[in-house]
């Protein structure tokens, strides 16, 4: 792991509320986390990783849902697995869709509020309003879409006003409008000084959500820092960009003459351009197409999926 | 007329919240399913009329036996799995587990909620069976026996739910192999068996023919006391097991 700009390890923060030290978790023969060390503090931290990277396991260990087999996890200096009082300071929005189907969102939020001893009678309504669930608050969760279930779970987490909020793929299933709304909400919670840990396997999603990012691969920490630093770390690696245009052969030949393009290939999906300077290519491609009179239909980086990013990081 | 606005609601204690949640979450949306145990019990009550014995003795021998070997354990098995095992499997239990509420309170709340559901089903079932058998005087003893037996069963099923990944299989093994097979032969097992003890409560409180009283196990209110002990042990085990529980996620 590279050091941060100020010489500190980017996996750790100075004012940490959650500390993970050499944590290992395994399920039978499968190692889910391997000697992972990092910390989380106020603000939004993104946990990135492909499916099976160990993000959910780390989040469940942080909330105490599972214990670590080796190492330790501390929240405010206490063990979340054994100290029940820690649960009053932490909330989890689990990834899975499981919800008490018989309940309505209002009943679920009130239930969680009662368990946490929330005395403010308006807390449940405010939490539901924050995620725009008041109009559907009295319908049963059974009939809800994935996005509405997620929002109901977010409301249940927010009703306790937790200093530490752990969100496992919270935008899954949300429509574009709700994504923006939830993203703004999580960012504002982080700006209030809460420790917000949010996982995703979509790079662009995490870029919008979090300034600080931890990348997990195979249960290990592969990279840490802000998302720009992680992208910068890949700048000298070849990137692939898909270009769909009316005359891909002519466009490909013209692009090859640019110094920024290392190679082109024509595929069924379109023209795939390999470059080590994706930014320069992005600037150049439109003028070249205009000059040729070629109509561009789509320009899309193929490496933006985290899987390809991770493949680069672990190569 | 005024209606209470949602924001005027008073906060409930964690125990009350858990009991309320349990009743709300564990009752199936198809409410008619709750009538099945009642229908079964009444059917067995009617079958009691085929006997030449007195109505009370016939009810205890036929209706009571069927109630405590079939209706009671199966009803409790379904409710008991919904109390904990099903929630742990689906990942829903995390909503309860991730709170500062003590494990003891969670277990007792779940158990009380389960007992309320069981009582709502089994009291009409037991009373209906007694009336159908022509022994209405046995309705109250039958209801007491059913509720006491359910309390013990549910505590044991909670302990199993907190201990095993396949609680329904282990609960069935407890009822069929341990209670029915071993319990029929060994008094030591029957002395701790909710099914046998519930039947013994009914026998002791109705005073039917002497041959219905199984020797070696308490009867009447003494059996109720024994069921309370079994329930307490079950709840203690469930509480202890909850400490080491790894609540699953649906991805597991």
Please write the tens of the pLDDT for every residue from B169-189.
999 999 889 988 898 888 888
Question: What pLDDT shows up at residue A173?
Answer: 80
Question: What single-letter DSSP state applies at residue B13?
Answer: P
**pLDDT above 70 covers what percent of chain B?**
93
- Closest approach of A94 to chain B, Cα-based (Å): 8
DSSP B32: G
Calculate the average pLDDT of chain A: 86
Please report which confidence band the pLDDT of residue A304 belongs to, taking 50, 70 and 90 as the band edges.
Answer: low
pTM of the full predicted structure? 0.81
pLDDT at B1: 39
Residue A151: closest CA among A60, A135, A41, A188: A135
Q: Where are the alpha helices (DSSP H) in A22-145?
A: 55-63, 105-115, 123-130
Size of interface A-B (CB pairs under 8 A): 103
B46/chain A closest Cα distance in angstroms: 35
Residues A243/A273, Cβ–Cβ less than 8 Å: yes
pLDDT at A11: 87
| Per-residue pLDDT, A71 | 95
Of B7, B12, B97, the CB nearest to A114: B12
Reading the block at residue A153, the tokens are 């779970």
A99-136 pLDDT, tens per residue?
898 899 999 999 999 999 998 889 999 999 999 999 99
Residue with tokens 């330790």: A72
The confidence score (pLDDT) of residue B4 equals: 45
Q: What is the pLDDT of residue B123?
A: 96
Report the candidate in B64, B72, B71 with the shortest Cα–Cα distance to residue B47.
B64
Please tell me the total number of residues recorded for chain B in this structure: 252
β strands within A94-247, DSSP E:
164-168, 195-200, 212-217, 220-226, 239-245
**pLDDT of A315 over the 60 cut:** no
Half-sphere exposure of B153 (CA within 13 A, CB side): 36
Q: CA-to-CA distance for A222 and A201, rounded, in angstroms?
A: 14
Q: Tell if the CB–CB gap between A142 and B13 is shorter than 8 Å.
A: no
pLDDT of A257: 86
Residue scoring higher pLDDT (A30 or B225) = B225
CA separation, residue B29 to residues B25, B38, B80, B109, B111 (Å) = 9, 18, 17, 21, 20
Nearest to B249 among A67, A90, A96 (CB): A96
* Eight-state DSSP code of residue A243: E
Give the residue from chain B lying closest to A152, CA to CA: B95
Task: Identify which of B11, B91, B103 has the shortest CB distance to residue A114.
Answer: B11
ipTM rounded to 2 decimals: 0.86
Nearest to A116 among B16, B97, B99 (CB): B99
Q: What is the mean pLDDT of residues A282-307?
A: 79
> HSE of A172 in the Cβ direction (CA atoms, 13 Å)?
17
Query: What mean pLDDT do residues A66-75 have?
Result: 94
Q: How far apart are CA B92 and CA B25, in angstroms?
A: 11
CB contact under 8 A, B17 and A111: yes
Give residue-wise pLDDT tens across range A33-53. 999 999 999 999 999 888 888
| pLDDT at position B250 over 60 | no
Residue A162 has pLDDT above 50, yes or no: yes
CA dihedral A110, A112, A113, A114 (to 10 degrees): 90
Query: pLDDT class for B252, splitting at 50, 70, 90?
Result: very low
Mean pLDDT of A203-230: 84
State the alpha helices, DSSP H only, in B72-102: 72-80, 86-90, 94-97
CA nearest B83 in A: which residue?
A100
Give the three-state DSSP class for A166: strand
Res A96 pLDDT > 60? yes
pLDDT band (50, 70, 90) for residue A208: confident
Exposure on the CB side of residue A300, measured as CA atoms within 13 A? 10
Residues B2-14, mean pLDDT to the nearest whole number: 63
């Amino acid at each position: 792991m590279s050091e941060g700009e100020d010489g500190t390890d980017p996996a750790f923060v100075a004012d940490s509320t959650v500390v993970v030290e050499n944590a290992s978790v395994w399920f039978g023969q499968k190692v889910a986390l391997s000697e992972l060390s990092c910390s989380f503090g106020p603000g939004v931290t993104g946990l990135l990783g492909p499916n099976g990277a160990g993000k959910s396991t780390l989040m469940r260990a942080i909330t105490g849902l599972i214990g670590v087999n080796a190492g330790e996890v501390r929240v405010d200096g206490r063990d979340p697995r054994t100290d029940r009082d820690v649960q009053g300071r932490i909330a989890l929005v689990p990834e899975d869709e499981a919800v008490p189907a018989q309940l309505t969102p209002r009943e679920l939020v009130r239930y969680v509020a009662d368990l946490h001893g929330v005395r403010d009678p308006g807390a449940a309504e405010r939490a539901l309003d924050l995620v725009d669930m008041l109009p559907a608050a009295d319908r049963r969760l059974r009939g809800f879409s994935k996005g509405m279930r997620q929002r109901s779970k977010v409301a249940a987490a927010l009703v306790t006003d937790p200093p530490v909020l752990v969100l496992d793929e919270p935008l899954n299933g949300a429509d574009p409008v709700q994504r923006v709304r939830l993203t703004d909400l999580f960012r504002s919670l982080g700006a209030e000084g809460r420790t917000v840990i949010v996982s995703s396997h979509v790079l662009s999603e995490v870029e919008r959500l979090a300034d600080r990012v931890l990348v997990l691969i195979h249960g290990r920490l592969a990279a840490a820092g802000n998302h720009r630093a992680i992208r910068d770390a890949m700048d000298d690696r070849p990137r692939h960009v898909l270009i769909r245009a009316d005359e891909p052969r002519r466009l490909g030949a013209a692009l090859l003459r640019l110094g920024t393009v290392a190679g082109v290939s024509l595929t069924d999906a379109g023209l795939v351009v390999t470059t080590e300077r994706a930014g320069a290519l992005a600037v150049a491609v439109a003028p070249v197409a205009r000059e040729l009179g070629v109509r561009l239909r789509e320009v899309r980086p193929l490496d933006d999926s985290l899987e390809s990013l991770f493949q680069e990081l672990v190569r | 007329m005024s209606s209470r606005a949602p924001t005027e609601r008073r906060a409930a204690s964690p125990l009350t919240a858990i009991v309320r949640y349990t009743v709300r979450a564990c009752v199936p949306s198809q409410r008619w399913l709750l009538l099945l145990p009642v229908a079964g019990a009444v059917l067995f009550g009617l079958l009691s009329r085929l006997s030449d014995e007195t109505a009370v003795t016939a009810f205890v021998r036929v209706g009571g036996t069927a109630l405590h070997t079939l209706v009671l354990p199966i009803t409790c098995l379904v409710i008991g799995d919904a109390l904990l095992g099903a929630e742990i499997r689906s990942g829903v239990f995390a909503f309860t587990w991730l709170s500062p509420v003590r494990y003891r309170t969670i277990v007792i709340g779940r158990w009380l909620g389960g007992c309320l559901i069981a009582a709502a089903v089994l009291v009409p079932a037991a009373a209906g069976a007694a009336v159908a058998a022509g022994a209405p005087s046995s309705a109250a003893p039958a209801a007491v026996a059913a509720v006491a037996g359910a309390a013990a069963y549910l505590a044991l099923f909670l302990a199993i739910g907190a201990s095993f990944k396949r609680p329904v299989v282990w609960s069935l093994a407890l009822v069929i192999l341990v209670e029915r097979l071993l319990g029929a032969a060994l008094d030591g097992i029957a002395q701790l068996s909710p099914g046998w003890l519930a039947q013994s409560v009914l026998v002791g409180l109705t005073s039917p023919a002497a041959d219905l009283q199984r020797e070696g196990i308490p009867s009447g209110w003494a059996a109720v006391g024994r069921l309370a002990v079994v329930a307490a042990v079950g709840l203690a085990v469930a509480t202890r097991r909850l400490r080491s529980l790894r609540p699953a996620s649906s991805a597991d």
